[in-house]
A and B are shown apart, each in its own frame.
Chain A
Amino acid sequence: MKRPSRQQPIRSEFAQGLVRCIHALAAEQQDGCYRMLFAHFYPRLVTFFVKRGMTPLRAEDSAQEVMLVVWHDAALFDAQQQSVSGWVFEIALDLATSESASRQQWDDLIIPLPEVPLHAEQMEDGVADADETLKLYAALKVLTAGDADLLHSAYIDELSHSDLAKRLQSPIGSIKSRIRKSIIKLREVMRMGRP
């Protein structure tokens, strides 16, 4: 199946200017570009950290830390992935929340997923009633293998009670009662999990 390509975001003139700035910073470490980025982001970052409950002094420290990361990591910025402001926001947020101990515990954990084929169409089919079928399949597990086979023969292979009695060499009465008991048992299991 064709994988959908990522949409190119439409960005404002200003945002595009920031992208050019950061590319120039990454390529040539131009101070002029850094000053422009600094002038825009630094005072706003201070506001951001103050809004998150820091003292103005600490907020300035944190804002400086973010601007230093911007300087060091300019080459890692990917305009395909995000806007410059979004990137700076992410760095700031990371710094603001990195002190939370519970976050640290989880944040460094990656759960790998296998390469998953996209097969949405095939999966639509037959899903609606799969639940009931599966429930029955699951419920069959509560029966002994003999009883499950008996039900299978009676209801899927459609053998008559007398055929079954002949095949299993047991009286027709006991066949009937085994089937009846199995059905009752199944019904109970199937009812579990319903309102």
Chain B
Amino acid sequence: MMHHPSHTTIYAAAIGMLPPVLNTLVRAHIARCLPCQTLMQQANDALGETLDELQPAPVAPDAIERVMARRAGHKIIRRPPPITLDWHNLKMRWAAPGLKIRTVYKNDKDALHLLRMKPGSVLPAHTHKGPDMALVVQGSFVRGGVRYVAGDIDEGWTENEHAKTVVCVEQCYLFLATTRGGVTFQGLFGGLVHWLTGI
């Protein structure tokens, strides 16, 4: 792994402000990447300090007693356990020579696609409408003279896109997350600002 999410992305993930579909890819990368785990930990520590430094709100003096009384019988609502996506066995449809695609999830804004590229196949240069991210899960591709292997994250597909074609080196499976269909924004950070402001 050589290509990591940017620091902005990691911090946005730590503070819960990364578009969820991108967060899915970032989490997959971080689970395997020690440097990014360390960065995430630092971000989390920093956020913990901001909590420590918040002005305490005036609270009822008996709050502690009330909570302690509730402790024993209290049931925490847990999330269902996460689903591990068995992407090896997803049926894919033909999209172009050497290229197969499967849309894993899609809502009105965000989408997650699985792409399979055969060696020698090319994704023509193109622009995406929102901030996007790719995660290689098997094999590798080359874009702009840079090779991306399993575990690598490629963000900012919106920048300088005309100059960069994606070429497949060996059979390659990659997840492509797209956000904000319909609006063009420069770079992931622009997309984040967009997402936050909702413009």
Q: How far is the CA of A9 from the CA of B23 in the complex (A)?
A: 25
Question: Residues 68-106 of chain A: 1 if any B CB is under 8 Å from the residue's CB, otherwise 0?
Answer: 110111000000011111111110110011101011011
Q: How far is the CA of A116 from the CA of B33 in the complex (A)?
A: 9
Closest residue on chain B to residue A132 by CB atoms: B145
Residues of chain B within 8 A (CB-CB) of A105 are: 20, 105, 107
Judge if B165 is at the interface, Cβ distance under 8 Å. yes
Q: How many residues of B contact A (CB 8 A)?
A: 84
Q: How far is the CA of A84 from the CA of B47 in the complex (A)?
A: 11
Given A82-B45, A116-B1, A192-B165, A60 and B137 contact (CB-CB distance below 8 Å): no
Contact B147 A86 (CB under 8 A): no
Judge if A120 is at the interface, Cβ distance under 8 Å. yes
Q: How far is the CA of A165 from the CA of B121 in the complex (A)?
A: 32
Closest residue on chain B to residue A96 by CB atoms: B16
Judge if A156 is at the interface, Cβ distance under 8 Å. no
Judge if A145 is at the interface, Cβ distance under 8 Å. no
Contact B45 A6 (CB under 8 A): no
Contact B48 A64 (CB under 8 A): no
The listed residue (A6, A69, A93, A195) touching B38 by CB distance below 8 A is A6
Contact A88 B48 (CB under 8 A): yes
Judge if B199 is at the interface, Cβ distance under 8 Å. no
Residues of chain B within 8 A (CB-CB) of A44 are: 51-52, 54-57
Contact A64 B57 (CB under 8 A): no
Contact B125 A193 (CB under 8 A): yes
Count of A-B contacts judged by CB separation below 8 Å: 228
Q: How far is the CA of A48 from the CA of B37 in the complex (A)?
A: 25
The listed residue (B27, B51, B76) touching A68 by CB distance below 8 A is B76
Given A35-B64, A138-B122, A87 and B48 contact (CB-CB distance below 8 Å): yes
Q: Which of B99-125 contact A (CB under 8 A)?
A: 105, 107, 109-110, 112, 120-122, 124-125
Question: Residues 127-145 of chain B: 1 if any A CB is under 8 Å from the residue's CB, otherwise 0?
Answer: 0000000010110001111
The listed residue (A40, A68, A123, A138) touching B121 by CB distance below 8 A is A138
Contact B124 A111 (CB under 8 A): no
Q: Which of B13-51 contact A (CB under 8 A)?
A: 15-16, 20-21, 23-25, 27-29, 31-32, 34-35, 37-38, 41-42, 44-45, 47-51
Residues of chain B within 8 A (CB-CB) of A27 are: none
Contact B28 A31 (CB under 8 A): no
Judge if A47 is at the interface, Cβ distance under 8 Å. yes
Given A193-B125, A195-B162, A42 and B59 contact (CB-CB distance below 8 Å): yes
Given A9-B41, A68-B76, A123-B147, A106 and B21 contact (CB-CB distance below 8 Å): yes
A-B complex: 3 closest residue pairs judged by Cβ atoms: A85-B48, A43-B56, A86-B48
